[in-house]
Amino acid sequence: MRKQQTAPQASFRHGTAVVMYVVAVVLLALPVYEWVLNAVPFYADPYDLPTALFNLPGRLFALVGFVLMFYQFVLGIRLPAFEKVFKRATNLRRHQTLGKIGFTLLLLHGVFMLSYDRALTGEFFFDTYRIMGITALILLIAAAMAAWHFKALKLPRKVWKTLHLLAYIVFPVGFLHARGLGTELATSRVVDVLFITLFVLYCFLVAYRLYTVVRDQSRA
């Protein structure tokens, strides 16, 4: 009897996992596809070397990094729906892995876009949206260092937790930065809608996370 009960459950979990993987791949592929549409014609006739070397790769890093950072956030807040499909330890490992990859891509994005400005004009620009991007990157670096080197830095848990929470600020600031400067967001309705959707989902998930924190404290 037990096997008859667990077999459908295992089948459901497997099917749900497949659907989640497919959705994750599609959401990641959409901005990459739109980037390819913009990049291929240019690379076929690369008349602008700074754009070829810095701008286009930097834009791709940002698109992929932004989506991966959303994924790692979702995996990190322990949604019951995910923990019914995947083990908590598995979600945590993926949260850490996607966080590292996303951080690296966003760091490269910042380096490449600053290099692009320098190569194209001989100077750096610090308008509102660029300052937002730099601010988000600095906060992300602080959060990542605290998370990766917690033991080595010997940070008090309260300090570590504060630094780690900086990552919650990075996503909305990065979103505003992308809305102001992102080429794919400006030229592709698909990417624009995707980023807005991810941001709205992020806001709901933050609200859910705050609710669980208050609920757990009230029970303690």
Task: Please give the full DSSP string across 188-216, using - where no structure is assigned.
Answer: -HHHHHHHHHHHHHHHHHHHHHHHHHHHH
Give me the residue label for tokens 């690369």: 46
Task: Say if residue 201's pLDDT is above 80.
Answer: yes
Q: Which fold has domain 2-219?
A: Four Helix Bundle (Hemerythrin (Met), subunit A) (1.20.120)
- pLDDT greater than 60 at residue 140: yes
- The whole-angstrom separation of Cα 32 and Cα 207 is 29
Instruction: Quote the pLDDT of residue 83.
Output: 81
pLDDT cut 70: percent of the chain above it: 92
- What does pTM read for this prediction? 0.88
Average pLDDT of the residues of the chain: 86
**For residues 92-113, average pLDDT:** 93
Q: Compute the distance between CA of residue 197 and CA of residue 173 in angstroms, rounded to an integer.
A: 15
CB 133 within 8 A of CB 110: yes
Q: How far apart are the first and last CA of the chain?
A: 38
- Confidence at 212, pLDDT banded by 50, 70, 90: confident
Q: What is the pLDDT of residues 55-86, one digit of tens each?
A: 999 999 999 999 999 999 998 888 888 888 88
Tokens describing residue 210: 């705050």
Those residues whose C-beta lies under 8 Å from the C-beta of residue 66, and which sit 6 or more positions away, are: 102, 106, 174, 175, 178, 195, 198
Ordered by start, the domain boundaries in the chain are 2-219
Binning pLDDT at 50, 70 and 90, where does residue 149 land? low
Q: From 77, 103, 70, select the one nearest 91 (Cα to Cα).
A: 77
The percentage of residues in the chain with a pLDDT greater than 90, rounded to a whole number, is 48
Residue 13 near residue 84 (C-beta atoms within 8 A): yes
Provide the pLDDT for residue 26.
96
What CA–CA distance (Å, rounded) separates 67 from 163?
22
Q: Which pLDDT band holds residue 50 (cuts at 50, 70, 90)? A: confident
